[in-house]
């Protein structure tokens, strides 16, 4: 669970820093960070639990998570841009940066998680 604290601290810290430099976009930057951060945390928790219990179910879980995330991101961006009155450019930049960065972080974390388990199996045999 150490990775969760790291991404929360990095996301909130970067939001604070950028919001300090561009205070008129405080809310837009936060909204661009919020859903990618929450979904990254949820994905990491689900993958870790599923991997520990039954690694064979991981592909099905990740497929469902991908479809669910795709739908949720679409609805979220539509609602935020369509309903909320604000500056869309800082939101779009923030959302893109956090979305990309958090997905990259997830991928790298899962790679180390799965490789570490394979090394343990090789040492045992």
Confidence (pLDDT) at 119: 52
Least confident window among 77-81, 114-118, 120-124? 120-124
pLDDT tens digit string along 18-59?
A: 999 999 999 999 999 999 999 999 999 999 999 989 888 999
CA distances from 47 to 6, 116, 124 (A): 17, 15, 24
Q: Does a structural domain hold residue 91?
A: yes
Confidence (pLDDT) at 47: 93
**Domain count within the chain:** 1
Q: Does a structural domain hold residue 125?
A: no
The C-alpha atoms of residue 125 and residue 123 are separated, in whole angstroms, by 6
Q: Does a structural domain hold residue 124?
A: no
Q: Does a structural domain hold residue 13?
A: yes
DSSP assignment of the chain equals: -HHHHHHHHHHHHHHHHHHHHSGGGHHHHHHHHHHHHHHHHHHHHHHHHHHHH-GGGHHHHHHHHHHHHHHHHHHHHHHHHHHS-S-HHHHHHHHHHHHHHHHHHHHHHHHHHHHHHHHHHHHH-
Q: Does a structural domain hold residue 12?
A: yes
Please, is 122 exposed, middle or buried when counting C-beta atoms within 10 Å of its C-beta (0-12, 13-18, 19+)?
exposed
**Is residue 124 over pLDDT 50?**
no
Q: Residue 121's pLDDT band (boundaries 50, 70, 90)?
A: very low
Confidence (pLDDT) at 117: 59
**Average pLDDT in the 5-9 region?**
95
The C-alpha atoms of residue 86 and residue 80 are separated, in whole angstroms, by 9
The structure's pTM equals: 0.86
**Average pLDDT in the 89-97 region?**
94
Q: Does a structural domain hold residue 46?
A: yes
Range of the domain at 107: 2-118
**Is residue 91 over pLDDT 60?**
yes
Q: Does a structural domain hold residue 123?
A: no
């Amino acid at each position: 669970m150490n990775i969760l604290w790291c991404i929360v601290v990095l996301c909130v810290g970067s939001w604070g820093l950028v919001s300090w430099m561009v205070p008129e976009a405080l809310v837009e930057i936060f909204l661009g960070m919020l859903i990618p951060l929450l979904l990254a945390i949820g994905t990491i928790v689900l993958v870790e639990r599923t991997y520990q219990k039954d690694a064979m179910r991981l592909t099905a879980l990740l497929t469902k998570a991908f479809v669910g995330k795709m739908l949720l991101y679409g609805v979220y961006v539509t609602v935020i841009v369509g309903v909320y009155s604000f500056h869309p450019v800082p939101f779009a930049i923030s959302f893109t940066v956090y979305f990309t960065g958090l997905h990259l972080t997830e991928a790298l974390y899962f790679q180390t998680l799965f490789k570490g388990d394979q090394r343990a199996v090789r040492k045992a045999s």
